[in-house]
Structure 1
Amino acid sequence: MNLMDRFIPKKEKLQIHYSDQDLLDKMNERIISWLPSTPKEYIIVCIGTDRSTGDALGPLTGSFLSDMQPKHLRVYGTLPEPVHATNMEDYVNQIYKLHRHPFIIAVDASLGKTTSVGSIITDIGSLNPGAALNKNLPPIGDIHITGVVNISGFMEYAILQNTRLSLVVDMAKHIAALLKKIDQQLTYSKTFPDIVTSHKHQVLKN
C-alpha cells in the first residue's frame, strides 16, 4: 500500500476484545482510513482450515461474510473452499491473475497472551500465516485482521486443536460483521466477470 496516496496521518495497530460494544465502529474507522485513495479490487483472504477448531476462524469468517453477500468485496477462504497451508500459494497466484491491482485484507487466527485471548487485532501490512506452527508460507495482505483464539506457548498445534469452538464462532461473526460494514461504505462497484468464479473452483481444495 502506498501511504503517500493518503492525506491522513498513519495510524498503527488496533486491538479490541470482540465483545467490546465499540468494536465495529472503532475498527471500521481505522480500516477505512487505511484504504487507498484510488479505487481497487478489494479482496478478502480468510486463511485456515475447519480441521482444527482454533484455525477455523478464517474459513468461518469467510462463510459468514459470503452469506452476507458483500457488493464490493471478493471473498476467498470459506468452509467449503478453505485457503490453507497446502493451497495458499495457488490461491495467491490466482488472485493476482484474476484481479488487477488487488487490495488484499488477510484474515487469520493467532495465538497470544492469556490477557489477549478474544481480542481482534488489525494492522497495516501483511501477516505471516502459520508462523505460530513454524510453517513457511508467503506473507499476504496489504492490511490484516487476526483473532487471538488461544494462548501461545508450548505445542501450539495441540492448543489450536483444543480451542473452544464457541469462541471462534463468535469472533468470526464479529469480523464478518466488521467487513460487511466496510463493504457498505465502499463506493467502488466492480462487476466481476464470470471467469473469476470458474477459475476459482479450479484451485486445490481441502
Structure 2
Amino acid sequence: MNLKKGLFERRPEPFRVLHQEEGAAQELSVQLSSMLPTYYRTRPIVFICIGTDRSTGDSLGPLVGTLIEEQDIKPFHVYGTLDDPIHAVNLEEKLKEIASKHINPFIIGVDACLGRLKSVGAIQLSEGPLRPGAGVNKELPEVGEIHLTGIVNVSGFMEFFVLQNTRLNLVMKMARTIAEAIVLAGHSVERRNAVSIEKWREELQQ
C-alpha cells in the first residue's frame, strides 16, 4: 500500500481556455474527447448541466444543456436544460433518476462558477467530480467523473448578488463555446467508436 501516493498525489491541473480565444471550442473539444470513454454503448456518456435561469450567472449550465439537446448528439445523454433545469432543490432527485436510467454512466458535470477577476470568461475542464454550490456555501452531492466549469464573475463578496447581476451576454457566449466543444467531442467519440468496432470485426475474421 503506497500511503504516500494516496496522501500527496494531486490531480493534474485543469485545462483552461478563454471563451473568446480563436479556436477555443476546438481546443476544448480535443481535451474533452480524450477524457471520454470510446464505447459509449456499453458505458453511457451523460452530461449533467446544473443551474437555473432564475439567476443570470447560474444559467450557464441549462443554457449549455439546451444548446446540446438541440443538436441531438448521438453518443451523449443530456440532463439539465432551460425547460427542465437541475438545481439545488432537485439535484439529489435527478441524480437518482439518472442512475435508474443508465448503467455505470460516465458523467460530466457542467456548471457556472466564480473566480478571480482575470479569470472571468475562462472555461475549465477538470478531472474529478463537480462540487455544485461550493462557491455559495451550499452542501450538495458531488457530480461526475470530470467536470466543465465556466467562470462567469468574481468571487469573494455577496456571491448570490454577483451571480444575479452577471451579464447574460457573457454567459451566452460561454455557453455557445462549451456547447460547440461538446458537439465536436461527440463527433470525435462517434468516429473513434466506429473505428474501434471495425478493428474488432477485422480481428474476429483473422
In structure 2, relative to structure 1, the CA distance for the partners of 1:67 and 1:74 (3 Å cut) is same
The DSSP-based 3-state class of the residue aligned with 1:186 is: helix
| Corresponding residue to 1:50 among 11, 28, 53 | 53
One-letter identity of the residue aligned with 2:84: E
Show the counterpart of 1:192.
Answer: none
Show the counterpart of 1:20.
Answer: 21
One-letter identity of the residue aligned with 2:188: Q
Show the counterpart of 1:108.
Answer: 111
Residues 1-206 of structure 1 mapped to structure 2, 5 A cutoff = 12-36=13-37, 38-39=39-40, 40-187=43-190
**Contact 2:47/2:76 (CA < 8 Å) preserved in 1?**
yes
The DSSP-based 3-state class of the residue aligned with 2:125 is: strand
State the 1:11 CA deviation.
5.5
Q: After superposition, give the CA deviation of every residue in 1:171-205 in whole Å (9 maximum; x if it has no partner).
A: 1111111111111112359xxxxxxxxxxxxxxxx
Larger Rg: 2
Show the counterpart of 2:4.
Answer: none
Could you tell me the TM-score, scaled by structure 2's length? 0.83
One-letter identity of the residue aligned with 1:148: I
Q: After superposition, give the CA deviation of every residue in 1:122-174 in whole Å (9 maximum; x if it has no partner).
A: 01110100111111101101110000000001110000000001100111111
**Contact 2:74/2:186 (CA < 8 Å) preserved in 1?**
yes
Distance 1:163 1:11 in 2: 30
Could you tell me the TM-score, scaled by structure 1's length? 0.83
Q: Which ranges of structure 1 fall in alignment gaps of 5 or more residues?
A: 1-9, 190-206
**Contact 2:32/2:182 (CA < 8 Å) preserved in 1?**
no
More helix by share: 2
The DSSP-based 3-state class of the residue aligned with 1:178 is: helix
Distance 2:60 2:184 in 1: 19
State the 1:36 CA deviation.
3.1
Distance 1:38 1:183 in 2: 12
One-letter identity of the residue aligned with 2:82: L
What's the RMSD between the two structures over aligned residues? 1.5
The DSSP-based 3-state class of the residue aligned with 2:151 is: strand
Distance 1:67 1:141 in 2: 22
Aligned residues: 180
State the 1:34 CA deviation.
1.5
Distance 1:178 1:11 in 2: 21
**Contact 2:52/2:86 (CA < 8 Å) preserved in 1?**
yes
Distance 2:33 2:61 in 1: 21
